[in-house]
Structure 1
Amino acid sequence: MPPLDGDNLDRAREALRSTFGFDGFRGRQEDVVERVLDGKSTLAVMPTGAGKSLTYQLPAVMMPGTCIVISPLIALMHDQLRSARANGIRAATLTSADADWRETQDAFRAGELDLLYVAPERASQQGFRDMLGATPLALFAVDEAHCVSEWGHDFRPDYRQLRPLMDAFPDVPRLALTATADRQTRADVMTQLGVPEDGLVLAGFDRPNIRYAITPRDNPVRQIADLMARQPGPGIVYAQTRRKVEELAEKLAAATGRSVRPYHAGLPAETRAANQAAFVESEDMVIVATIAFGMGIDKPDVRFVAHVGVPKSIEGYYQETGRAGRDGDPSLATMFWGAADFATARQRLMELPEGRRSAERARLDALAGLVETPHCRRAVLLRHFGEDPDETCGNCDNCLDPPKVTDTTELARKLLSAVYRTGQSFGMGHLQKVLVGAEDERVRQRGHDRLSVFGIVEGEDASLLQPLGRALQARGDLVPTEHGGLSLGGAAREIIKGERKVEIIVPPKRARRRRGESTANPVGDPLFEALRDLRRDLAKEAGVPPYVVFHDSTLREMAASRPSTLPELGRLGGVGTRKLDAYGERFLAEIARH
């Protein structure tokens, strides 16, 4: 369709204020919106929480015709549908879970929809393509666009069918959106979706409100319970297996007294749906889940994300931690990892087709680099996505409390020599006993007390064997055998010969528990709590999660400025015309009572 006439950006700013209640765009939103309104196809790479959905929702209310949004998960579509309707946008979903599909199709054909959300599986069907010819189209918006690329970390074959659909409507611009795409994936997405070379808007990957921390795992229940004690508000804990999900959920609920629920694909569908709905509506629930959970959640007030074990890649880590703090408030992303995580991941590499192994190995090595670095975590993360960040960020564990790094080259030579001389078939426990010269029946039976490496490690070096073994496994220089032992891999032989230096982080002493690092109400304002109570009541009445009414940041602004008239309230961030009409009087009355 042809671009709008007149000064598009001036009109866009007016619509931004009246529809969403914002006085200005954030980050690169304005660049993306301007391109869309000019009828130009675009790939927008924007961090989670940067307001990607606004870049198509705003044009959808301004442009004639309907915007077709292709999104991978029904739960995500329904989440975005609630938020769009709360802002007065005429939106609908056309999914297998919707009983009102006939009414939706009628509304679409009548030109009564600004937005229509569909899954790629439906979008690729001929019947859907035929239906699209019934009314003018404003835009195709492809969410989670990295799914179209085989180089992406979340490839979905159905996304490959979107190009023919969009090619059938050559005058309709395309907007592809993703938060996680490295340089190679970006180029592939643009090719697969027909976005021109000059159509890339790269907003950067930094999420400055998220504090990153990575630490060895010793007692995950205690470690996460400590995290929950100092970080109130909703949280997500990612575990690697269904059994671990259920076990952690039960133990954390008992240890903390907080509401904690499990989520994984093995639960009955109604249980999964109930747990997800309860989490979305809650202001303090913690959900323990496999990584299947979260892609379909647009909950802005998640205050922490914890990984019990390493994710599949840096891309996966970035996407999963990005579910914290979408509202811009301070949030935590913490990973508790162990050597076995990398051992298992490297074993799985051998199950992949040979053509994919080197790319996946590079991803795993990059993740090991993030876990093992003594330097700024954020800088490592951003460099992976091709950025040139500052050397320090001031908001990760290594910047806030720089770790001590020690040269363990000689100790590594001793450990790897012990692995070799014991036949590359024993685990760390046995190797430690040999190296420190422990009186042990199994060591004697094997004759390992007569080896040259027996008893050659003493003093402080003995306490470094465990973290050194963990580091060498993360880096791939020690690899697991089929029967649970360790064998030489990677650069092990270079290390033994003294050709490669080995440094590790000295594990810190266990820190005391600190409470209340982040809270929705940092100054303890009773008006803020009263406004939250009112928001909770209004959300119940409307059958929506509290954040759909207003975000915490809007309530804090209300409590600070205490508006007394509707126009004053309407000038606050996040208070659009529709919400002002729906909720304004009730909030003004509550403010007046204080």
Structure 2
Amino acid sequence: MTETASQYQLHSALKTYFGYDTFRGQQQEIIQNVLQKKDTLVIMPTGGGKSICFQIPAVVLEGLTLVISPLIALMKDQVDGLNANGIKASFYNSSQSSQEQQSIIEKVITKEIKLLYVAPESLSGLENLVNEKYISCVAIDEAHCISSWGHDFRPSYQQLGFLKKKLPNTPIIALTATADKATRQDIVEQLEMPQAEQFISSFDRKNIELEVRPADARAKQIVTFIKKHPGQSGIVYCLSRKNTEQIAKKLNDNGINSDCYHAGLSFEDRTRVQEDFIFDKTQVVCATVAFGMGIDKSNVRWVIHHNMPKNIEGYYQEIGRSGRDGLKAKAVLFHSYADVIQLRKFATGASNEDVQIAKLERMKQFSEATTCRRKILLSYFGELLADNCGNCDVCKNPPTFFDGSVIAQKILSTITRVDQKEATGTIIDVLRGANNANILDKGLNGVKTFGIGHEISWKDWQQYIIQLINQGICEIAFHRNNALQLTDFSEKVLFKGLKVHLTHPVYSNEKSKTPTAAVASKKVNSNSLFERLRKLRYRISLEENLPAYLIFNDATLKEMERVRPMSESEFLAISGVGQRKMEVYGDEFIAEILDFIGSKIKKPKKTDTHLVTYELYKTGLSIEEISLQRKLKAPTVYSHIAKLYSDGKDINIYDFVSKSDVEAVHQAKIELESPNALKDYFDYFNEQMDYFKIRLALSVIDKDE
């Protein structure tokens, strides 16, 4: 395969299956690396397009791509999305019967599926398949779970090192949205792929506005916030089960459709809450942090933290569940010192208690920061942002700064002179000239900067160091006993005259409380094209038993609203519209757009797209000829024929579908008992009967009944 042919093939697969014309960021480079059979580590923010990095290779490679995933919800969501896009995928886990599991194994052997999702605990059931006869690629999703340095450590992930030994010539791609330096190193070591090429994308989710509020009358503030964002999906994260139930009740009492989710619910209730949210039946879910992991719901517009998360990784991952479609989103965090006390209690006694406490302290510092919050988030993951973001509460209401360059130089110089081996408290003791046992035992009273900051209080030095960390001018090495270390910015401050702006420390009891003004509820413009397309999408999602965002995400609907495609070729050009979705949904969305345009220009009567087809049919044109004249695909024209027949038009339906096909579909309808969608029939016939024939046959059956 030539390089040009390879690029063409990749772009063709991207458009055909996912509806996108171009790759984002490093996606194409990552995919090429995998196709060259090289091990790969991908650090990419939530919503950045990680899944495409292994799903496109899965389509291109001959064998099976095995995907290791931690949660059943994640597997189901991904598999539903792949099948909706025309890619054959399945999952294998403990929720299935032995017959279902055996059926999956047989499909792998006969190469009927391209991707198989499996939890690490279930890998033993696939022991005979984990060899290079069947598997062309292994993808390990949520790879941070393998590391005890990570925020979501899972012991079951630590067995995955055997994969490289058993599949030495098979590329492994490990992916995560949240991993600091220590965690990244741990991932490649434990997966036995030390030579893996690392692709670290920007962690900057510019579309998410960040805000921290004091925790006064939280429930009232949450109600007010949601009423300012009517009809928008959102998640309220809470620390306890009781909180989730209380907030959900408060929201429902105020006319906001909400539900709660926590580990105390039965499996059936948790599944129901999750699916109602995915299918847009529930607007708001009040949940503990277990909710949302792996759910690729792209139209979540906001996330509220009723309580402070226990670390920045968790916070970043949770706010990343909003705005996955790239449209504007908002993250609101309520900060309370009581939450900090509670989280410290939770960490006490843990095997990595020191790490947990240190990470909690960074989360607290983020909440109390007086510098750009996005700078803090990005610097935590090793990404330095030179300019303030302009899209957080600190940037929008900046505090008063002073030139703190000399203070910064004293701190950085001390970090340098102790060989970057000491934590914050020791650095402050050196600066203040403390003669305590720790300083004397280590001989740090002989450091040149000893005592140069004796006039500044211990607490103020602590605040200044926190501000430097928040600005990325120095950083904490959690895996090195929380030692302070220099960054690329440090040298610029020490030797190149980079100015450092600090604020005078303000402590919690001195902070003024920002009053929350009552805001009148906004109303959704139900007559906008976007809302009409959203309602159409919702109706189809119920008919197809498929989450609405898997049909088209909000960003795709917004582009439809802006471009207003009125032909198949125009519709196919919309980002997010692939070939299969054009064939299955195109005619209905185009009809809705035409109807909207017709209503706006006040035509006396709109000509439905299927009626245009009917006029051409009456002239004796064939399906192929109508397709050419209307620039529509044949399946779309067949769907018009089915509707016309159902509407009582003079259509000789048996010119297009045989009586034996109608009888077969009728039998399938009886055996399936309550089929939810055309796909149920398509699967029943082992994908051997075309969708358009099924639709035509059903039009005959429904009319006869």
Tell me by how many angstroms 1:514 deviates: 4.9
The residue identity in structure 2 corresponding to 1:119 is A
SS at match of 1:303: strand
Task: Name the residue aligned to 2:243.
Answer: 244
**Length-normalised TM-score, structure 2:** 0.67
Query: What CA distance in whole angstroms lies between the structure 2 residues aligned with 1:141 and 1:47?
Result: 17
Tell me by how many angstroms 1:528 deviates: 2.1
Work out which of the residue numbers 16, 19, 29 in structure 2 matches 1:18. Answer: 16
2:316 is the alignment partner of 1:318: yes
**Length-normalised TM-score, structure 1:** 0.79
Query: What CA distance in whole angstroms lies between the structure 1 residues aligned with 2:266 and 2:196?
Result: 47
Work out which of the residue numbers 503, 509, 521 in structure 1 matches 2:514. Answer: 509
Work out which of the residue numbers 382, 393, 396 in structure 2 matches 1:397. Answer: 393
Task: Name the residue aligned to 1:308.
Answer: 306
SS at match of 2:128: helix
Gaps of 5+ in 1: 407-467, 476-500
Q: Give yes or no for contact 1:211–1:395 (8 Å, CA) kept in 2.
A: yes
The verdict on how the C-alpha distance between 1:216 and 1:4 changes in structure 2, with shifts beyond 3 A counting, is farther
Task: Name the residue aligned to 2:378.
Answer: 382
User: Which deviates more from structure 2 when the two are superposed, residues 9-18 or residues 572-581?
Assistant: 9-18
Task: Name the residue aligned to 2:111.
Answer: 111
Tell me by how many angstroms 1:507 deviates: 2.5
The number of aligned residues is 496
Query: What CA distance in whole angstroms lies between the structure 1 residues aligned with 2:553 and 2:299?
Result: 8
1:3-152 aligned within 5 A: 7-99=5-97, 100-123=100-123, 125=124, 127-133=125-131, 135-152=133-150
Q: Give yes or no for contact 2:130–2:166 (8 Å, CA) kept in 1.
A: no
Task: Name the residue aligned to 1:208.
Answer: 206
1:465-484 aligned within 5 A: none
Query: What CA distance in whole angstroms lies between the structure 2 residues aligned with 1:77 and 1:105?
Result: 16
Structure ranking higher on relative contact order (CA contacts 8 Å, 6+ apart): 1
Tell me by how many angstroms 1:545 deviates: 1.0
Query: What CA distance in whole angstroms lies between the structure 1 residues aligned with 2:313 and 2:2?
Result: 37
Query: What CA distance in whole angstroms lies between the structure 2 residues aligned with 1:235 and 1:228?
Result: 8
Tell me by how many angstroms 1:217 deviates: 0.4
Work out which of the residue numbers 583, 586, 589 in structure 2 matches 1:584. Answer: 586
Work out which of the residue numbers 163, 181, 205 in structure 2 matches 1:165. Answer: 163
| Structure with greater Cα Rg | 2
SS at match of 1:69: strand
The verdict on how the C-alpha distance between 1:59 and 1:11 changes in structure 2, with shifts beyond 3 A counting, is same
The verdict on how the C-alpha distance between 1:374 and 1:313 changes in structure 2, with shifts beyond 3 A counting, is same
The verdict on how the C-alpha distance between 1:387 and 1:5 changes in structure 2, with shifts beyond 3 A counting, is closer
The verdict on how the C-alpha distance between 1:134 and 1:111 changes in structure 2, with shifts beyond 3 A counting, is farther
SS at match of 1:503: coil
Query: What CA distance in whole angstroms lies between the structure 1 residues aligned with 2:539 and 2:35?
Result: 38
Tell me by how many angstroms 1:351 deviates: 2.1
Q: Give yes or no for contact 1:231–1:304 (8 Å, CA) kept in 2.
A: no
Task: Name the residue aligned to 1:293.
Answer: 291
Note the alpha carbon deviations across 1:210-251, whole angstroms, 9 max, x for none. Answer: 111111101111011111112231111111111111111111
Q: Give yes or no for contact 1:252–1:260 (8 Å, CA) kept in 2.
A: yes
Task: Name the residue aligned to 2:538.
Answer: 536
Q: Give yes or no for contact 1:20–1:87 (8 Å, CA) kept in 2.
A: yes
Note the alpha carbon deviations across 1:273-319, whole angstroms, 9 max, x for none. Answer: 11111011117610001111111321111111111111110111111
Note the alpha carbon deviations across 1:95-146, whole angstroms, 9 max, x for none. Answer: 12234322211111101111000001112x2x41212348431210000000
Q: Give yes or no for contact 2:109–2:134 (8 Å, CA) kept in 1.
A: no
Tell me by how many angstroms 1:549 deviates: 0.7
Query: What CA distance in whole angstroms lies between the structure 2 residues aligned with 1:90 and 1:333?
Result: 36
Query: What CA distance in whole angstroms lies between the structure 1 residues aligned with 2:11 and 2:61?
Result: 14
Task: Name the residue aligned to 2:472.
Answer: none
Note the alpha carbon deviations across 1:424-475, whole angstroms, 9 max, x for none. Answer: xxxxxxxxxxxxxxxxxxxxxxxxxxxxxxxxxxxxxxxxxxxx9xx9xx99
2:365 is the alignment partner of 1:366: no
Note the alpha carbon deviations across 1:334-387, whole angstroms, 9 max, x for none. Answer: 11121111122233443234xx23322221121111011011111011111111
Q: Give yes or no for contact 2:258–2:283 (8 Å, CA) kept in 1.
A: yes
The verdict on how the C-alpha distance between 1:224 and 1:275 changes in structure 2, with shifts beyond 3 A counting, is same
Q: Give yes or no for contact 1:4–1:38 (8 Å, CA) kept in 2.
A: no
Query: What CA distance in whole angstroms lies between the structure 2 residues aligned with 1:202 and 1:358?
Result: 27
The verdict on how the C-alpha distance between 1:403 and 1:261 changes in structure 2, with shifts beyond 3 A counting, is farther
Q: Give yes or no for contact 2:94–2:122 (8 Å, CA) kept in 1.
A: no
The verdict on how the C-alpha distance between 1:169 and 1:197 changes in structure 2, with shifts beyond 3 A counting, is closer
The verdict on how the C-alpha distance between 1:514 and 1:45 changes in structure 2, with shifts beyond 3 A counting, is farther
Tell me by how many angstroms 1:26 deviates: 1.0
The residue identity in structure 2 corresponding to 1:13 is H
Tell me by how many angstroms 1:7 deviates: 4.1
Q: Give yes or no for contact 1:92–1:117 (8 Å, CA) kept in 2.
A: yes
Task: Name the residue aligned to 2:496.
Answer: none
The verdict on how the C-alpha distance between 1:150 and 1:282 changes in structure 2, with shifts beyond 3 A counting, is same
Q: Give yes or no for contact 2:38–2:196 (8 Å, CA) kept in 1.
A: no
Q: Give yes or no for contact 2:239–2:307 (8 Å, CA) kept in 1.
A: yes
The residue identity in structure 2 corresponding to 1:87 is N
Tell me by how many angstroms 1:511 deviates: 3.8
SS at match of 1:132: coil
The residue identity in structure 2 corresponding to 1:90 is K
The verdict on how the C-alpha distance between 1:514 and 1:51 changes in structure 2, with shifts beyond 3 A counting, is farther
Q: Give yes or no for contact 2:40–2:198 (8 Å, CA) kept in 1.
A: yes
Tell me by how many angstroms 1:540 deviates: 1.0
Q: Percent identity, aligned pairs only?
A: 40
Q: Give yes or no for contact 1:75–1:297 (8 Å, CA) kept in 2.
A: yes
Tell me by how many angstroms 1:503 deviates: 2.5
Gaps of 5+ in 2: 403-459, 468-503, 597-705
Task: Name the residue aligned to 1:432.
Answer: none
CA RMSD of aligned residues (A): 2.5
